[in-house]
């Protein structure tokens, strides 16, 4: 044996146009490891994508290298944000995810969830304040309670405590809504870190 091992090549993007600030505009994403080419996706990998449209995304095609983990991740994501039978309105779940992404510095995820929160709430200016000023921007009691709880969970789960739950309840959010807030922030606290370790956003 030669003592050498095949290594996955690291992709370099010297001409990449990186965003200079948090934004609500749509962004691209450039991976640092090769995604599965779309035409090479196996039936199992396509099944793991859950939604056929995700095959055009280099991020999801990179995650498709571990199809079981990808499918579990995607189904969890869809259940948190797509199951609207009670709990928080969809836009406030998106706000939770946007706040977590703002804390973590994930410009791509912040753009996706901020844009969704704006579209669903018609509060584009408030959402932009979150992106521009960070989670310390004050808007109203309910907004602030959601953002502060998301920020605490993101910094470290132990920072989230009974006082956050009480503020959410005082803002009119029931237990199902509190579960949605926690799930949206916690899921994207994890998802941000995965995306940040695998590539970077680009202006397209």
Nearest-5° Cα angle at 8, 43 to 51 = 30
- Beta pairing partners, 201: 29
What is the DSSP code string of 165-200?
HHHHHHTT--HHHHHHHHHHHHHHHHHHHHHHHHEE
Please report the pLDDT score of residue 2 as a whole number: 41
- Asked if residue 36 lies in contact with residue 17, where contact means CB atoms within 8 angstroms, the answer is no
H-run or E-run covering 202? strand 199-203
pLDDT digits (tens, 9 = 90+) for 136-164: 999 999 999 999 999 999 999 899 999 99
pLDDT digits (tens, 9 = 90+) for 98-110: 999 999 999 999 9
The residues of the chain that CATH labels 1.20.1290.10 are 86-195
Helices (H) and strands (E) in the chain, counts: 9, 2
What is the DSSP code string of 27-63?
EEEEESSPPPPGGG--HHHHHHHSSGGGGG-HHHHHH
The whole-angstrom distance between residue 99's C-alpha and the CA centroid of its chain comes to 10
- Asked if residue 91 lies in contact with residue 116, where contact means CB atoms within 8 angstroms, the answer is yes
Nearest-5° Cα angle at 108, 106 to 112 = 115
Q: How far apart are CA 138 and CA 155, in angstroms?
A: 19
Q: What is the CATH number of domain 86-195?
A: 1.20.1290.10
Nearest by Cα to 184 from 91, 48, 50 = 91
- Asked if residue 38 lies in contact with residue 61, where contact means CB atoms within 8 angstroms, the answer is yes
Residues in the chain: 204
Please report the pLDDT score of residue 8 as a whole number: 64
Low-confidence ranges of the chain (pLDDT < 70): 1-8
Task: Kindly state the tokens that stand for 65.
Answer: 């290298």
φ, ψ of residue 27 in degrees (nearest 5): -120, 160
């Amino acid at each position: 044996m030669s003592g050498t091992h095949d290594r996955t090549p690291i992709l370099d993007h010297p001409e990449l146009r990186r965003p200079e600030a948090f934004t609500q505009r749509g962004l691209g994403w450039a991976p640092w490891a090769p995604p599965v080419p779309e035409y090479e996706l196996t039936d199992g990998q396509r099944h793991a994508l859950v939604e056929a449209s995700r095959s055009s995304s280099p991020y999801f095609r990179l995650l498709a290298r571990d199809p079981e983990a990808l499918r579990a991740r995607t189904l969890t994501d869809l259940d948190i944000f797509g199951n609207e039978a009670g709990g928080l309105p969809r836009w406030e779940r998106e706000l939770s995810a946007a706040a977590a992404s703002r804390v973590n510095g994930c410009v791509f995820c912040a753009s996706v969830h901020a844009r969704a929160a704006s579209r669903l709430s018609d509060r584009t200016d408030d959402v932009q304040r979150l992106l521009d000023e960070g989670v310390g921007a004050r808007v109203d009691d309910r907004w602030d309670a959601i953002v502060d709880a998301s920020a605490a969970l993101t910094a470290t789960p132990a920072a989230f405590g009974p006082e956050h739950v009480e503020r959410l309840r005082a803002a009119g959010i029931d237990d199902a809504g509190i579960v949605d807030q926690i799930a949206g922030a916690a899921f994207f606290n994890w998802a941000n870190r995965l995306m940040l370790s695998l590539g970077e956003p680009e202006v397209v």
